[in-house]
Amino acid sequence: MEILEAAQELERRGVDIVHLEVGEPNFDVPPCVREALEKAIRGGHTHYTHSQGLRELREGIAEYYAREYDVQVGPERIIVTTGTSGALALVMALLVDPGDEVLVPDPGFACYPAFVRTFHGSPRPLRLDPASGYQYDAQAVRSATTRRTKALFVNSPSNPTAALQQVETLESLAGLGLPLISDEIYHGLVYGPPATSMLEVTDDCFVLDGFSKRYAMTGLRLGWLVAPECYVAPIQRLQQNLFICASSVAQYAGLAALEQAQNDVEAMLGEYRKRRRVLLAGLEDLDLKVVTEPMGAYYVLVDTRHLETDSLRLAKRILEEAHVGVTPGVDFGAAGEGHLRFSFASSLQRIEEGLRRLRAWLKK
């Protein structure tokens, strides 16, 4: 956010910035989503819904799991949330007491430790090895677990590594008996074998997903949580007290997305594939080392220690001197330091312009 805010300040001064730091699709919402929003407002559907979400939306999400993963999830196990952030807050409020530990991937999504600390827990980094393609290691998880460990975050496809966890890896984690929080927000944005849902491996997990990434609905703040049946009632009570319910009009838009937006998702995925190829080739041409080939999401993690070990300082230099925004790896944990994350959620033309600027800057 520091880089983004600095970029915005430069833009206010009239400087053109290429944004490769932001993990947000540059697409507008699908037409069916816009129409559903307008229809919901015209129809007066602007009031509280059931705290778990519209029944028909939860049924649509259940059908999604049956169709995509051949997994049967009852609508009663689904809580519609204010984005996956809302789902994360509910799970943390449920599981974490002061002093409890939660294992978080390192490198991993920058907000995981913040959510743990918000509920007075202690995030414990779990180092992931780039040599293994950032696969989780069950033995390392077992070694890091203490009597205060309440859960393990699993993110596949991952931010920032874009790694996809293998089925065998997920099975080994499920066998540990530790509560698993599986963040699957980038499912559907993959460039090889499909991502495996934790629900295909075990029912004893908390699965987070939503509409922000593959449907380009970031600002509508709509996600969901699938919880083990025994935890649904306390999570529902937390939802009633903390959020009441997710946005009513966004829920109608989500239902339209599930039912009508598959062609839009395929079109966006096709564009991401093109952008991925261009960015990977461009970074290789610049002799910037891609740590692992991105298999999902829209990120590329690059080892830049040959240029500068302080990733924040390097990102600031690139922004100020090349006018390209990139994300410093230190945001993602100690293992991310010395790296930069590039996002290909921007347009192909802007990615190509960013690569041209980086080439000129590196020559200097």
Q: Which domain holds residue 308?
A: 2-29+263-363
Q: Are residues 210 and 307 in the same domain?
A: no
Q: Are residues 273 and 253 in the same domain?
A: no
Q: Are residues 220 and 281 in the same domain?
A: no
Per-residue pLDDT at 56: 98
Query: What does the buried/exposed string (b/e) look like for 277-293 if buried means 16 or more CB atoms within 10 Å of the residue's CB?
Result: eebbebbeeeebebbbe
pLDDT tens digit string along 21-73?
A: 988 999 999 999 999 999 999 999 999 999 999 999 999 999 999 999 999 99
How far from chain centre, in Å, is Cα 271? 19
In 223-337 the beta strands, taken as DSSP E runs, fall at 223-226, 289-290, 299-303, 324-325, 327-328
pTM recorded for the entire structure: 0.95
Mean pLDDT for the chain? 97
Per-residue pLDDT at 1: 84
Q: Are residues 106 and 233 in the same domain?
A: yes
Contact 257, 211 (CB under 8 A): yes
* Regions of the chain where pLDDT drops below 70: none
Q: Are residues 288 and 215 in the same domain?
A: no
Q: Are residues 161 and 248 in the same domain?
A: yes
297 lies in a domain? yes
Contact 151, 103 (CB under 8 A): yes
Q: Are residues 275 and 187 in the same domain?
A: no
Q: Count of CB atoms within 10 A of residue 87's CB?
A: 29
Q: What is the CATH number of the domain that holds 107?
A: 3.40.640.10
pLDDT tens digit string along 238-258?
A: 999 999 999 999 999 999 999
What is the arrangement of strands in the sheet containing 327-328, beginning at the earlier edge strand?
289-290, 299-303, 339-343, 327-328
34 lies in a domain? no
Could you say which of 202, 236, 260 is where a domain stops? Answer: 260
Q: What is the CATH number of the domain that holds 281?
A: 3.90.1150.10
290 lies in a domain? yes
Give residue for tokens 């809580």: 79
pLDDT tens digit string along 294-328?
A: 999 999 999 999 999 999 999 999 999 999 999 99
79 lies in a domain? yes
Q: Are residues 252 and 338 in the same domain?
A: no
Q: Are residues 235 and 296 in the same domain?
A: no
In the chain, the number of structural domains is: 2
37 lies in a domain? no
Residue count of the chain, please give it: 364
Could you say which of 218, 233, 260 is where a domain stops? Answer: 260
Q: Are residues 70 and 202 in the same domain?
A: yes
131 lies in a domain? yes
Using CA atoms, how far apart are residues 290 and 248, in angstroms rounded to an integer? Answer: 42
Q: Are residues 255 and 268 in the same domain?
A: no
Contact 184, 207 (CB under 8 A): yes
Q: Are residues 269 and 188 in the same domain?
A: no
Of 78, 130, 273, the closest CA to residue 191 belongs to 273
35 lies in a domain? no
Structure tokens belonging to residue 306:
């040959």
3-class secondary-structure state, position 312: helix
65 lies in a domain? yes
Contact 223, 185 (CB under 8 A): yes
Could you say which of 260, 277, 297 is where a domain stops? Answer: 260
In this structure, the strands spanning 149-155 and 101-106 are parallel
Using CA atoms, how far apart are residues 315 and 321, in angstroms rounded to an integer? Answer: 10
